[in-house]
Structure 1
Amino acid sequence: MCRGKIEYGWEPVVNYIAAAAVIGAGAAACLLRGFFFAEEMYAFLVVWFVLCAVIIVLKFVVAHRKGNKGVSGNVLAGDSVLQRKGSIRRTQGARVVLLGGSVLILALYAIHLLRGSISAQGTMNELLRWGLYASFAVVVYTCAGNRQVGRLLIAAWHGVGMTLCLTALLAVCGVLPLPFAIAYSNASGVSVTGARLGGLLEYPNTFGAVMAVFLLERLFSIAGVSAKPSTRSALLRQLPLFPYAAALLLSESRGAWLAAACAAAAVLPWKRRLLAPLLTAGAAPVAAAALLYRQLAHAGLAVEPLPGLLALAGLWAGALLAGLWLCRRQRCAAAGWTRAAGLALAAVGWTAAGTAVLLHVHARIIGPSSTVSARGLFYRDAWKLAAEAPWLGRGGETWASAYLAIQSHPYVGSQVHNGYLDILLNLGIVGLTATALILLAAGWLLAMAAPQLLPPFLVLTLHSAVDFDWSYGLVWLLLLWLPALAVAEMGQTAIAAPPLKPVNQSAFTYSYQINRPTAPRRFSYPSQVVAAAVCCACLSLSLLSVHAYRGIDLYRQAGQVTTFTERTVLLQKSLDWNPYAPGTIVALSRMLPTGQATSLLQSSLKYAPEDAALSWELAERLMREDNLGVALYWIRRSLQLDVYNYVKRVRVVEGLLAMGQGRLAAGRVGEAQNSAAAGMELLRQYRLLVEQENIRGGRHNDRHFRVTEEADSLDWRLRGLLIAAGDSEGKAKPLSLAH
């Protein structure tokens, strides 16, 4: 009896550990810039994967001792079975597809890492990312079906949203020092005010999309409440609306605004009864947010702390009180004129807010957009690159590794600004299909369990088609978190509903058979294999994270030491831990003699065969050696991998000039002429590229590709070298004949 109680008591402990892991992941994503930079994730991933392995082991042990056949059976435990049986069955298949798609993508990146890819470092980063996403899905669905823990998941969701929102607004008010929370730009096509809010994510477009997610989740949650809530409940529900709306407007992200509007419009025809509650719930917060936006925009998002805080607090309180009053009027079914007046006031609030915002940014909305046309260039070049490996792609970070070689204009864009294209480049049609299955399964689960969560889900799926949201690990966590919220809210609804009475003896018998104690029995062999495989995968990913973390940590230490020997030793240790890092390879090669550096660079190219930095470093090394043919091969190779880099082109010609002068001084006249002729040819190609770009208008010449004064000077010096070499050859011939 006592043993049974102890064994049963382990299950909530495991669930709470899983919930704590989810909360930790959300907090880490906020603090680590949304998990955008992979090197900032390594230390967290070391702990995360070990914790996931522990949770999975404990979960299977608890299920084994209780006599369950699998982890998914926990969803039914302790709930109103007869009430939820149909919903559970409809959503279980979607959860299996969602998790299976994540595991498939993880496996594809593992295959690329083993068989070779365009960037081993990028593939390793994506492997670790998708290991996080797949394990997060397992952990979050492990505890989503539990009643008490489900509340923690819902609270953690709101905690992440408010953390991102309030830190950004406090940074605008000058209270919280976040150096990169505000993105400044002098280009009118990028920002009307010259300043846009990016918050902890440090990128306004993705920040705006995330704020739209949390705003729509709150709006549709309020609109979907059928019963009249208490004043306290209504206050808590509407409390986040104003800051979310203000942060969304201050991001000045046209894509996020449009995605939010389209997502809401897509659901409203399905749920027409939500239109009036949405209007009344959002009118006051959005109008107040528009007023704050106009005030801060005129100041360039630079205000004194005290006036800024007073304006923020005053508008927040006013929006909250007005919103509560409008919602109360809308729910007043006894007086039709009262509801009509409330709806009219809500419509006025929305109209005023839209007018205030659109009048301020209309030039950026209706005028030509350089960012939109730049995305068109990205997409055309990306399609050409995707055609080279259509089925399985070329591994992680394909665009970042190859765009300098395939770009049709000298633009700057290490991100392709389209999540679907990015997946297509990395994993081909197979990976894109797996991603589509994940999204469809998540959408289906939301539609079945919690339709009010579809709009925030649609925001992420729509906006990621025009920006690089999926490069942020936080966005994928939110995508996987939303279906788990649906399961958790379904459990909370079951609690609130009165228990169903069995209508006949068969129903009673079924309920008893589901909930009755069962004798412990062994897991089936496949279940044991799955548990062992998942734990081994988590521990392997944790070990890989350790190697990546130690490599980047030693690399940073090497940048802080001052002595040559210490730096070389630290860089060598860093490379031993992580041999894939191109930055470490380049830094170490500069500390080694020419022969050793050349050997290191050539051997490292197998991990990044199209890395522009490695090829350029090798070309520079070979120019110092006495082998023009090999040097020219790598010179041309490095220029092919970075076509519109005028600095490299000038330095190459300078190197060939120095090589020719040295050979002429040594009496090797023919080789000096060959060096000068090669330099002249590279200069000619350089000029042709510049002329071609000028003919096309140079609209996206973000890299300022041009013919420099140094290039003109080098042209004359190469001609002088050819003349000097010709004179030397002419003088040498009579001497040889006389002899």
Structure 2
Amino acid sequence: MEINRHWSRLQRFTSRGSAGMLFLAAAAACLMRGLFFARELYGLLAVWFALCAAFAVLAGISGRAAGGRGSLLEGPEAGEGNTGGSHKAGNWMLIVLLGCPIILFALYAVQLLRGPLSVQGTLNELLRWGLYGSFAYFAAVCAVSRRGAGFLAALWHTLGMTLCLSGLLAACGLPLRYAIAYTDSAAVSATGARLGGLLQYPNAFGAVMAVFLLERAIAAAEAAARDSHRAQSTARQLLCTLPLFPYAAALLLSESRGALLAAACAAAAALLRKRRLAAPLLVSAAAPAAAAALLCRQLARAGLAAEPLPGLLLLAGCWAGALLAGLWLCRRCRGAAGGPFAAMLLAAGLWTAAGSAVLALLRGRISGPSPTAAARGLFYRDAWRLAGEAPWLGQGGETWRSAYLAVQSRPYVGSQVHSGYLDILLNLGTAGSAAVLLMLLAAGILAGRNAPGLLPPLLVILLHGAVDFSWSYGLFWLLLFLLTARALAESHQHRLTGPRRDAEMNRRASAQQAGTRVLLIAVVCFCLILSALSFKLWKGERLFSQAARSSEPAVQSMLLQEALHYNPYDPRIVVRFAGLLPQEEKEEQLLRSLEYSPGDAGLHWMLAEACLKGNEPGTALYWVRRSIELDRFNAFKWRSAAEGMLQMGRRALAKGDLQRAAASAVAGQELVRGYRLLALQEHIKGPEHNDRSFEFSGGTEEVDAELDQLIAAVYNVQPLQTTANSL
């Protein structure tokens, strides 16, 4: 009895503690722009890993009180009698799902030992996967608890409606900074305004809305199909169809073609597997789709800047109309004497009207040429070439962000590779890609076996991640693990049960107790180390922000030096601090920082600038060339490097050092010729994808003429005139 009482307390502690951790992560995802910017997460991660350590300690203590069983690290126990093959396969899939984030975490740790392209980027990814892995474990623990299914469903719907309504309310007139993205480019937005919500990026916001929309649409269709031959509970139907309209409206207002296509493909896959859902899905989602199209047209005319009162009334009216019409259609579909046929015809008419309204509004974006798709083709080709440099283990976290300026074949702007799969390949090579694919496969199998209705929204995450950088948002990984946990909670084979009191179970518990204690100590130590690391990074980021706001150089220098003490890996801090140092100290600081960021173009250029102010043309040319190799489509650097060589040559000539003056002038002319040739090649290719406006500037011609004059002064001859000029 005493063991059972301690076991019950352990179950309550683990389930409630896990629920609290899940809620914390979900709230942070809403408030921190979907967990996109790593520098915003350091404070959260410091608290998160500290709580994980405390949670593990308390769970271990409670487990020992329960007779050595029920530790957080032991995982869920199956109920008695569930020893079939499907149960064992489900356990293996769960182990794979929870183990792959640990493998990815370990691979990033290995990259730190090997010397990555960016230590800061690798640390960011390592901390992220520590968060994702622990979140997945808490979600699994919550799923196998007795009340876990209800909590996970409530958290899911709360998260979805918070994100959705925040965007819609902003479009209807309530102030929310950066919730709407405005543009003058018809290729980017057909209406000039796109809804980004709390994520502040329309494509990612649209993908999130597609995930929640498809989950509710499949649930509504399954409910309608299940109760087609009996009286339908109005409350159940109401809960299923209530969120359909806002999700659909938010998806349309985001104008995300990738999200729409991913949702369509996932829905088609679901209907191919369960053809009986086609008619219920058509009927239950017809009215919300039509109302969403109507709202989209009305708000688009106002540029998503409606007045608050009319906008809110329009939103409420469309929502109420969609809900009432949807319930009426579902009831007609269950009626007799031709009711289902008439309901199907009416639903088809509503779908046609909705499609016509959306096509009329977004025709240019849907049927016209897509410059963004062509640009992504360039990204992918350049990324494949970069991946070939380290195909097995990659080059560490944020490889594309660190190296895209060096490998880009055209002067585009894109610090994100726009493909989650390619991003993992660049970071961790085929080893990391295999782990991610295995994890996604395990998630798909768990969802398909336990809750097939959750497989389509999971497919949206997998499909959209292939064509955009949605996986750079931590929110998408949280959604994936939440979906899998909800599917796990649907299975009656995975429930925490009381301790089995047979002799075999007691012997097994005693044998595992020592190993569990060692594993528990390791987990606590790792969590404390990650918490301390996150705190140091947070402190460095905070001091850097304070220095950026200060206008006094002395205060800036003090704050930046302290920030560099806490975080010596961030190139932004180094560049800002080096700009306040004397010449010799600047070069030493930059050379030290290159050990942590060997591929950073900014550090190399600052070192080149420092050398251009010296008296060694060979050293200056070396660092200039290295800097330009890392950012060759930067017209400012080409021109500034040529001007720097000119000034160096003039200083040498004034001192009577003719050899250095001549060497500087010749080096400057080489830079001008390389700049002119590269600019000519880009001019021949045309202006498409020249996002950085890379061209040969007229001021460089003057610099070239002055370099000729410098050489003439060195050799005391007149500048040569070309045949064209003489004619």
TM range (shorter): over 0.9
Instruction: Report the secondary structure of 1:465's partner residue.
Output: helix
CA contact (8 A) 1:147 1:491 kept: no
| TM-superposition CA deviations, 1:352-388 (whole Å, max 9, x none) | 1112112222222222210010000000001001001
**1:532 equivalent among 493, 513, 521:** 521
Q: Do the aligned partners of residues 170 and 681 (structure 1) sit closer, same or farther apart at CA in structure 2, a change above 3 Å counting?
A: same
- Equivalences for 1:314-393 in 2 at 5 Å? 314-332=317-335, 335=336, 337-393=338-394
Residue matched to 2:418: 417
Question: Which one of 171, 192, 199 corresponds to residue 197 of structure 2?
Answer: 199
Kindly tell me: are residues 519 and 669 of structure 1, through their superposed partners in 2, closer, same or farther at Cα, counting changes over 3 Å?
Answer: closer
Whether contact under 8 Å (1:83, 1:494) holds in the other structure is no
SS in 2 for 1:196: strand
Structure 1 residue 687: deviation in Å? Answer: 0.8
What are the superposed Cα offsets for residues 9-37 of structure 1, whole Å, 9 maximum, x if unpaired? 24213311110110110010111000100
Question: Hey, what does 2:11 align to over in structure 1?
Answer: 11
Relative distance call for 1:550 and 1:494 in structure 2 (3 A) is closer
**Pair 51,653 (structure 1): closer, same or farther in 2 beyond 3 Å:** same
Question: In the alignment, is the contact (CA less than 8 A) between 2:76 and 2:495 conserved in 1?
Answer: no
Asked if 2 retains the 8 angstrom alpha-carbon contact of 1:281 and 1:326, the reply is: yes
Matched, 1:248 2:257: no
Deviation for aligned residue 1:4: 5.4
Closer, same or farther: CA 254–536 of 1 in aligned 2, 3 Å: same
Mapping of 1:118-267 within 5 angstroms? 118-175=117-174, 177-225=175-223, 226-227=226-227, 229-267=232-270
Tell whether 2:47 aligns with 1:47: yes
In the alignment, what sits opposite 1:504? none
Q: Check the 8 A contact 2:10/2:59 in 1, yes or no.
A: no
Q: Mean alpha-carbon deviation: is it higher for 433-442 or for 550-559?
A: 550-559
Distance 1:544 1:417, change over 3 A: same
Choose from 625, 638, 641 the match for 1:636. Answer: 625
What runs of 5+ residues in structure 1 fail to find an aligned partner? 496-510, 731-739
Partner of 2:580: 591
> Equivalent residue for 1:646?
635
Decide whether the 8 Å contact of 1:146 with 1:491 is kept in 2.
Answer: no
Change (3 A) 1:634 1:368: same
5+ long unaligned stretches in structure 2:
720-727
Distance 1:69 1:494, change over 3 A: closer
Letter in 1 for 2:558: V
1:575 offset after TM fit, Å? Answer: 0.9
Counterpart in the other structure of 2:532:
543
What corresponds to 2:725 in structure 1? none
After superposition, give the CA deviation of every residue in 1:656-686 in whole Å (9 maximum; x if it has no partner). 1111111111122232222122111111111
Q: What is aligned with 1:500? A: none
Q: How many Å separate the matches in 1 of 2:462 and 2:652? A: 61
Amino acid at match of 1:486: A
* Distance of aligned partners of 1:707 and 1:537 in 2 relative to their CA distance in 1, 3 Å threshold: same
> How many Å separate the matches in 2 of 1:493 and 1:678?
71
Q: Is the 8 A contact 2:167 2:197 kept in 1?
A: yes
Question: In structure 1, what is the Cα distance between the partners aligned to 2:268 and 2:2?
Answer: 56
Partner amino acid, structure 1, of 2:115? G
User: In 2, distance between residues paired with 1:671 and 1:254?
Assistant: 58
CA contact (8 A) 2:172 2:308 kept: yes
Quick one: distance in 2 between partners of 1:573 and 1:87?
A: 57
- What SS is found at the alignment partner of 2:194? strand
- Measured in 2, the distance between the counterparts of 1:535 and 1:273 equals 50
Name the aligned partner's letter for residue 580 of structure 2: M
What's the offset of the Cα at 1:88? Answer: 4.4
2:294 matched residue in structure 1: 291
SS of structure 2 residue aligned to 1:183: strand
Cα distance change of structure 1 residues 279 and 589 upon mapping to structure 2, 3 Å threshold: same
User: 1:696: which partner in 2?
Assistant: 685
SS at match of 1:33: coil
The verdict on how the C-alpha distance between 1:654 and 1:126 changes in structure 2, with shifts beyond 3 A counting, is: same
Counterparts of 1:231-630 in structure 2, within 5 Å, are: 231-332=234-335, 335=336, 337-490=338-491, 522=510, 523-630=512-619
CA drift at 1:229: 4.4
- Counterpart amino acid of residue 266 in structure 1: A
What do residues 98-143 of structure 1 show as CA deviations (whole Å, max 9, x unaligned)? 1111111110001111221000000000001111111111111111
The Cα RMSD (Å) is 2.4
Instruction: Give the paired residue count.
Output: 710
- Once the two structures are overlaid, the 10-residue window that deviates more, 182-191 or 477-486, is 182-191
Question: Which letter does structure 2 place at the counterpart of 1:671?
Answer: R
Deviation larger for 185-194 or 682-691: 185-194
Q: Normalising by structure 1, what TM-score? A: 0.92
Asked if the contact 1:392/1:428 (under 8 Å) is kept, the reply is yes
Q: Could you say what secondary structure the match of 2:390 adopts? A: coil
C-alpha separation between the residues in 2 aligned to 1:221 and 1:59? 36
The DSSP-based 3-state class of the residue aligned with 2:491 is helix
Name 1:103's counterpart in structure 2.
102
- Counterpart in the other structure of 1:114: 113
Displacement of 1:345: 1.3
Give the 3 Å change call, closer, same or farther, for CA 264–72 of structure 1 in structure 2. Answer: farther
What code does the residue aligned with 1:373 have? A
Distance 2:326 2:262 in 1: 24
Q: Report which stretch shifted further, 389-398 or 64-73.
A: 64-73
1:142 aligned partner, one-letter code:
V
Change (3 A) 1:410 1:512: closer
Distance verdict in 2 for CA 1:84–1:344, change over 3 Å: farther
Name the TM-score, length of structure 2 as normaliser.
Answer: 0.94
Residue type of the partner of 1:696? K
1:737 paired residue number: none
State yes or no: 1:679 paired with 2:703: no
Mapped contact 1:145–1:491 kept (Cα < 8 A): no
Amino acid at match of 2:292: A
Contact kept? 1:150, 1:491, Cα under 8 Å: no
Counting only pairs closer than 5 Å after superposition, residues 18-57 of structure 1 correspond to structure 2 as 18-57=18-57
CA contact (8 A) 1:50 1:539 kept: yes
Q: Deviations over 1:283-324 (max 9, x none)?
A: 010110011111112222121111111111100000011111
Q: Distance in 2 between matches of 1:296 and 1:674?
A: 64
SS at match of 1:224: helix
Over 3 Å counting, the alpha-carbon distance change for 1:433 and 1:4 in structure 2 is: closer
Q: CA deviation at 1:71?
A: 4.6
Deviation at 1:649, TM superposition (A): 1.0
For the structure 1 residues 584 and 296, does the alpha-carbon distance in structure 2 shift closer, same or farther, using more than 3 Å as the test? Answer: same
Query: What is the letter of the counterpart of residue 141 of structure 2?
Result: T
Partners in 2 of 1:224 and 1:475 — Cα distance? 25
